[in-house]
């Protein structure tokens, strides 16, 4: 399946910015930069087993303000495992801090370090432009973010699941110290999707390494999410698939019923909890006409058949897995399938990517095509390489509720999932976590992130969680993109202010819509609150309050 160019930006890039700290102005000359080439970092200096690391190149990038771009590799222990390829971008005017960028999808490529990805819709400066020494890796294998074949090698798979983060961090810190003569004063991590999972992983597994992390729509709980994605793609095949004209009507129906529940009709369903209690596609109407197809009507009519309505309600409900996994999970909480943009082709610059993240332009089937939902490609990769592990099995025929002899491999994944759940040590040392998710995310269910947050509260207590973690649910926002409300916010500035100056963001953060109605702003409300219109300019965040009822 071909991945659209925007996909790399949406899976891995993000908007960040922060005020500079104590700056070190030492412009890199070609000789000073080149002197880093050949630098060796011994295995003893790296916190997990490797065969050491080396800098293979160090060159000046004039387009990035004469930055020194260091490229290297961390050598694998297993001779059959790929090395970890990494880069460190060193600014001449260094702010004394470091930032690691997370990856996306199955990784396989090094994130863009010196700018925000040019395909990303944002007005927030990149961390590198604010003076951070920025680094990242391919997570220990090379290839497309849709290619999961690396999972056939245990070291490569563990690297992807988190080990590469520690290895890359330790090596990059050595390089930064060699370049500037001292280690960074602060270290931050920011990622979204797979990178969002990675942010929680580093905070949990190596709390002493980081001062703060930003986790955006984290693609975590891989075992449960993989099983649910498989089940959804299998159920969506054939005549249960919903064509774009009917998706348009579904979103219109949801808005007719629910848009005003937050006090304002603006195309964004803010009070999703109230909406879920009253919206039923079987009885809903659009412009006075039933959303449900008349007897005998079939797709692609702009209505929903009984089979399609049943599918949407099934996807919206919790899904029992039939087994209890090694991490204690035995169900998937469902997705917001009734109220989200399922992929509506329009003139929006993100419409095509939105469509692939949703239901695609063709029903999922085997073999795959690039018109099908991208979730089908991930489902196929997971079955072939992570779960069955033979590289050939067909995702469409895998029995989700009865993994049988593959339960052991599934539990291997579940056991790795559990490694990102313990944040107590990170909280104790003063680390801070900012976490967001869009309630219209179809690829990574926001309900999984809600469950993660609620588990933190159950484990640590609300008072302790409130001291170090802020979780924001964003109405109308999807998986990094949205034609309803594409949220842009200054993540790194908020994190830095909280860590370094004690400025608790609480409900003070503001997000800007870049697509739905460009320029309008909304408050970012701590879960489970949502933005409720009070009075004043409907395009200004100050006209809203964060409400729970």
Question: Known catalytic residue: 479?
Answer: yes
The alpha carbon torsion through 126, 129, 131, 133 (nearest 10 deg) reads 60
Q: Which residue has the tokens 């991930």?
A: 378
Question: Known catalytic residue: 441?
Answer: yes
Q: Which of 442, 476, 437, 478 shows the shortest CA–CA distance to 454?
A: 437
> CB–CB of 127/17 below 8 Å?
yes
Q: So what's the pLDDT on residue 3?
A: 41
Catalytic residue among 420, 441, 490, 513, which? 441
Q: So what's the pLDDT on residue 6?
A: 41
Q: Which residues pair with 90 in a beta bridge?
A: 68
CA–CA distance from 136 to each of 103, 167, 479 (Å)? 8, 11, 21
CATH number of 5-220+422-547: 3.40.50.1820
> CB–CB of 220/235 below 8 Å?
no
Q: So what's the pLDDT on residue 149?
A: 96
Mean pLDDT of residues grouped by 10 in the chain (549 residues)?
Answer: 41 43 72 97 98 98 92 98 98 96 96 83 91 98 95 98 98 97 97 97 98 98 96 94 95 97 98 98 95 75 92 97 93 97 86 94 94 96 94 90 92 95 97 98 98 98 98 97 95 97 96 96 98 98 97
H-type alpha helices, 3-51: 5-12, 30-34
Catalytic residue among 126, 193, 482, 543, which? 193
Catalytic residue among 83, 420, 445, 479, which? 479
> CB–CB of 136/86 below 8 Å?
yes
Q: So what's the pLDDT on residue 441?
A: 98
Q: So what's the pLDDT on residue 292?
A: 96
Q: So what's the pLDDT on residue 226?
A: 95
Q: So what's the pLDDT on residue 349?
A: 84
Domain layout of the chain by residue ranges: 5-220+422-547, 224-417
Residue 27: count other Cβ atoms within 10 Å of its Cβ: 13
Omega of the bond leading into 327 within 30 degrees of 0 (cis): no
């Amino acid at each position: 399946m071909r991945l659209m160019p925007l996909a790399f930006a949406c899976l891995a890039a993000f908007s960040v910015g922060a005020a500079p700290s104590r700056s070190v102005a030492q412009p890199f000359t070609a000789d000073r930069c080149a002197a880093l080439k050949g630098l060796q970092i011994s295995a003893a200096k790296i916190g997990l087993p490797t065969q050491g690391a080396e800098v293979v190149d160090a060159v000046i990038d004039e387009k990035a303000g004469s930055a020194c771009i260091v490229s290297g590799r961390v050598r694998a222990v297993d001779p059959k495992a790929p090395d970890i390829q990494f880069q460190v971008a060193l600014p001449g005017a260094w702010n004394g801090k470091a930032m690691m960028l997370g990856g996306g999808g199955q990784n396989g490529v090094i994130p863009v370090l010196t700018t925000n990805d040019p395909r990303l819709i944002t007005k927030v400066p990149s961390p590198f432009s604010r003076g951070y020494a920025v680094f990242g890796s391919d997570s220990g294998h090379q290839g497309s973010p849709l290619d999961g074949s690396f999972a056939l090698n245990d070291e490569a798979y563990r690297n992807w699941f988190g080990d590469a983060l520690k290895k890359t961090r330790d090596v990059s810190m050595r390089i930064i110290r060699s370049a500037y003569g001292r280690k960074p004063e602060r270290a931050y991590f920011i990622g979204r999707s797979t990178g969002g999972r990675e942010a929680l992983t580093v905070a949990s597994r190596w709390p002493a390494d980081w001062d703060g992390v930003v986790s955006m729509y984290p693609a975590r709980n891989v075992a449960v999410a993989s099983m649910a994605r498989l089940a959804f793609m299998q159920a969506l095949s054939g005549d249960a698939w919903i064509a774009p004209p009917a998706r348009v009507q579904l979103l219109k129906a949801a808005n007719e019923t629910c848009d005003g529940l937050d006090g304002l009709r603006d195309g964004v369903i803010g009070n999703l909890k109230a909406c879920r209690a009253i919206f039923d596609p079987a009885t809903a109407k659009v412009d006075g006409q039933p959303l449900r197809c008349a007897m005998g009507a079939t797709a692609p009519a702009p209505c929903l058949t009984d089979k399609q309505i049943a599918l949407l309600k099934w996807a919206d409900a919790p899904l029992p897995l039939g087994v209890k996994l090694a991490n204690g999970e035995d169900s998937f909480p469902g997705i917001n399938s009734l109220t989200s943009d399922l992929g509506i082709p329009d003139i929006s610059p993100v419409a095509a990517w939105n469509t692939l993240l949703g239901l695609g332009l063709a029903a999922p089937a085997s073999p795959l095509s690039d018109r099908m939902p991208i979730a089908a490609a991930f489902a196929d990769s997971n079955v072939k390489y992570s779960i069955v592990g033979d590289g050939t099995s067909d995702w469409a025929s895998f029995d989700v509720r009865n993994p049988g002899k593959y339960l052991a491999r599934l539990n291997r994944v579940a056991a790795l999932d559990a490694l990102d759940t313990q944040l107590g040590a990170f909280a104790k040392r003063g680390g801070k976590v900012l976490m967001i998710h869009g309630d219209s995310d179809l690829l990574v269910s926001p309900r999984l992130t809600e469950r993660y947050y609620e588990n933190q509260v159950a484990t640590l207590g609300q008072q302790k969680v409130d001291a170090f973690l802020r979780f924001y649910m964003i109405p109308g926002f999807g998986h990094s993109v949205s034609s309803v409300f594409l949220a842009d916010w200054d993540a790194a500035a908020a994190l830095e202010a909280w860590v370094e100056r004690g400025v608790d963001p609480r409900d003070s953060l503001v997000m800007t819509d870049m697509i739905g109605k460009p320029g309008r702003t909304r408050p970012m409300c701590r879960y489970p609150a949502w933005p409720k219109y009070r009075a004043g300019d409907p395009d200004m965040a100050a006209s809203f309050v964060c409400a729970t009822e």
